[in-house]
Structure 1
Amino acid sequence: MGRAFEFRKARKLKRWGAMSRTFTRIGKDIVIAVKAGGPDPNTNSRLRAVMQNAKAANMPKDNIERAIKRASDKAQGDFKETLFEGYAPHGIAVLVETATDNNNRTVANVRSYFTKCDGNLGTSGSVEFMFEHTCNFRLSKDGLDAEELELELIDFGAEEVFEDEDGMMVYGGFADYGTLQKYFEENNIEILSSGFERIPTTTKELSEEQQEDVNKLLEKLEEDDDVQNVFHTMA
């Protein structure tokens, strides 16, 4: 088990807090997917993936259907996806993925969080190179063997395959998402959830007191409704 496993284990210790916030973020993903590829999951692979994630998060079916219907309405505005980069205290690099219908508000909020927590909001490209952009799939373990699956998936872009208590995990490069998704669907392998993560290529050890300084910023960012994901290089 490699970096992806260790990263995932650490991330699981700090999931989204409130269920309502999780549903809000999935709702935005649905809008983005529908606006990009239409409301039919049979022809919109991105929407299929979001619906799988919604099911994994126990989002009620009625909520999913309402979100798709609302996204199909021409009056529904789109969400702009923006990546922010910066440094938390003690030299910890931070990447913030946002989806917003008011970019000015989001920029102002993110900048204020960095400033109030003694961090610095950087320019595009300032820390992104410190992270590996990956895709991931959580599969049903039924009938699957991790070693056999890894050998089978090497040609499709898989870089790491391992089993945990939640299912069979497959990690690959960001650009390999569509190829892997197609393979699983064509071979009737059940996808429980999928997504993208940014795994730090190097991490930095901090003292407990220093970690508290960094966590103040991370918590403010994660509580913002416009923020979808936060990644950092703190060990």
Structure 2
Amino acid sequence: MAGHSKFKNIMHRKGAQDKKRSALFSKLSREITVAAKNGLPDPDMNARLRSAIIAARAQSMPNDNIQRAIKKAEGSDGDNYEEVRYEGFGPGGVSLIIETLTDNRNRTATNVRTIVSKNGGNLGASGSVSHGFDRMGLISYPVAAGDADAVFEAALEAGAEDVASSEDGHEIWTATETLHEVAKALEPALGEAEGAKLAWRPGTMVTVGEAEAGQLLKLIDALDDDDDVQTVWGNYEVPDEVMERLG
């Protein structure tokens, strides 16, 4: 399990647990509302909104929920969410970037700092770890989209910069400015993506042992359970045998 995995793997336990599905839908709805509010409510004319809808559909979010989230952006009395990024370190010296959408900066800062410190980590100043990551576009496809060679050829033709295929699926990396152009170019060959969003790709990975991995996953789960946290990126890599022992 790697810290730069696609959205469904970053939220590695939430997707498999029905009891957390409503919390996941809430986060997806918030991203849709913010995307629609910061641009046009038409996904064909709003790249961020299109990405948010793709991510919601990949998690089987009902279309009624998606449309309700878009309409919420049109209301003048809707919540105003602010994007705030936190950077810090987890167990084993792992670098973490925590992306949030919040309507109360003080609450979110307190909650994130408390969660990180209680789980063996500490927050740093802005820029303390992001210099070790590249800001890129990430397009995610399931294994069923095709074999590694076919996906690589399609990505090359569409103008992508890199492809990483594994048993979990395919990650297609692009420059930030060409993310949605590449995503649209891939659709004729591979179909609609599971996700297309801006991401943080680590320059180097840190392999963590069993003790650190257990604590790190608890930290990520705790962050994921916070309503304001949208995505957690990291430069960690957990060997398969360690993941199996951790269950």
User: Which range, TM-score by smaller chain?
Assistant: 0.7 to 0.9
Cα deviations by residue, 1:88-122 (Å, 9 ceiling, x for unpaired): 23322111011111111101111111222232210
2-structure distance, mates of 1:157, 1:212: 35
- Counterpart in the other structure of 1:141: 145
C-alpha displacement of 1:62: 1.0
User: What's the TM-score, normalizing by structure 1?
Assistant: 0.82
- Counterpart in the other structure of 1:27: 29
- Counterpart in the other structure of 2:156: 151
Note the residue ranges of structure 2 that are not aligned, 5 or more in a row: 238-247
C-alpha displacement of 1:38: 2.2
Runs of 4+ in 1 over 6 A off after TM superposition: none
SS at match of 1:145: helix
Contact 2:84 2:99 in 1 (8 A): yes
User: What's the TM-score, normalizing by structure 2?
Assistant: 0.79
Mean CA deviation greater in 128-137 or 21-30: 128-137
Cα deviations by residue, 1:120-144 (Å, 9 ceiling, x for unpaired): 21001000122233322245838x9
1-structure distance, mates of 2:5, 2:79: 34
Map of 1:147-226 to 2, 5 A cutoff? 147-153=152-158, 156-160=159-163, 162=165, 169-184=171-186, 190-194=191-195, 195-226=197-228
- Counterpart in the other structure of 2:83: 81
- Counterpart in the other structure of 2:61: 59
Contact 2:41 2:49 in 1 (8 A): yes
Contact 2:10 2:232 in 1 (8 A): no
Note the residue ranges of structure 1 that are not aligned, 5 or more in a row: none
Cα distance change, pair 42–151 in 1 and its aligned pair in 2 (3 A):
closer
SS at match of 2:45: coil
2-structure distance, mates of 1:100, 1:13: 19
SS at match of 1:180: helix
1-structure distance, mates of 2:181, 2:161: 10
C-alpha displacement of 1:86: 0.7
Contact 1:146 1:161 in 2 (8 A): no
C-alpha displacement of 1:164: 5.9
Indicate the RMSD between aligned Cα atoms, in angstroms: 3.1
The structure with higher relative contact order (CA 8 Å, sep 6+) is: 2
C-alpha displacement of 1:161: 6.2
Contact 1:94 1:230 in 2 (8 A): yes
Cα distance change, pair 39–213 in 1 and its aligned pair in 2 (3 A):
same
**Number of aligned positions between the proteins:** 229
- Counterpart in the other structure of 1:43: 45
Cα distance change, pair 233–209 in 1 and its aligned pair in 2 (3 A):
same
C-alpha displacement of 1:43: 2.2
C-alpha displacement of 1:178: 3.1
2-structure distance, mates of 1:106, 1:165: 32
Does structure 1 residue 229 correspond to structure 2 residue 227?
Answer: no
Percent pairwise identity:
31
Cα distance change, pair 135–9 in 1 and its aligned pair in 2 (3 A):
closer
Give the aligned residue type for 2:65.
N
- Counterpart in the other structure of 2:12: 14
